[in-house]
Amino acid sequence: MRTLGLIGGISWVSTIDYYRYINTFVNDALGGLNYSQCIVYSFNYADIKKNNENNDWESTLNLIADACENLKRSGAEGIVLCASTMHLIADELEARIQIPVIHIASATGAEICRQKIKKIGLLGTRFTMERDFFKAKLTEQGIETIIPNDSDRAYIHHVIFEEFGRGIFLPETKKRFQFIMQDLVNAGAEGIVLGCTEIPLLLRQTDFHLPLFDTTQIHSKAAVDFALNARIR
């Protein structure tokens, strides 16, 4: 089994789910008392958020790269960034640290293709919705991406940091998300990517009538595939 290095704390709320899913999927594959061989480096989220708000991605890259080098020295053979937004720097990070970074968008695209969906709605932080780092990986797999309107994007970005990052999940927020997702469906989306790793804590598949792609779970499965060098369905 390869050792995984998890970069967490961005936020800690969804990092818990990563740890749970990865261990569960390893046990599903191997049985007995087999669980993940992994190391977790958890950030103070405020440090990362400050850089991102200042559009200082170079400082964020340096912080994450230093953490990954620590994980690499401790035996990590692959990196899992436990947050969608951090994949904005994933390609540069991988080139710098010289070990694989398991990409959340590539894994999500593979699952969307498996379900034969060609047009998807994407929810996440403003960075995830508006920048190309996530959408480009989907485009490479022949998937068209649509995103919410300006006011809905502002709302989603706000609640991700001010509610979800603090472990707050409100019924009225869920209802607003459902309206936003329906607007994307009306624009042609055949499913919705929950492209922030906290959103699956708000919404389950039973909350919507079209496929929801839980990026935390999908990314965790991809990490376990890498660790075991075998496909887990």
pLDDT, residue 101, reads 97
Domains 4-103+218-228 and 105-214 share a fold: yes
Residue 230 banded pLDDT, cuts 50, 70, 90: low
The better pLDDT of the pair 148, 232 is held by 148
105-214 to CATH, choices 3.40.50.620, 3.40.50.1860, 3.20.20.70, 3.40.50.720: 3.40.50.1860
Q: Read off the pLDDT of residues 152-167 as tens digits, 9 standing for 90 and up.
A: 999 999 999 999 989 9
**Any idea which fold 4-103+218-228 has?**
Rossmann fold (3.40.50)
Distance CA 77, CA 91 (A): 16
User: Between 215-228 and 104-114, two packed helices, what is the crossing angle to 10 degrees?
Assistant: 100
Global pTM reads 0.92
Q: Read off the pLDDT of residues 59-99 as tens digits, 9 standing for 90 and up.
A: 999 999 999 999 999 999 999 999 999 999 999 999 999 99
pLDDT, residue 52, reads 85
Query: Residue ranges of the domains in the chain?
Result: 4-103+218-228, 105-214
pLDDT for residue 130 is more than 90: yes
* Main-chain dihedrals φ then ψ at residue 193, nearest 5 degrees: -90, 120
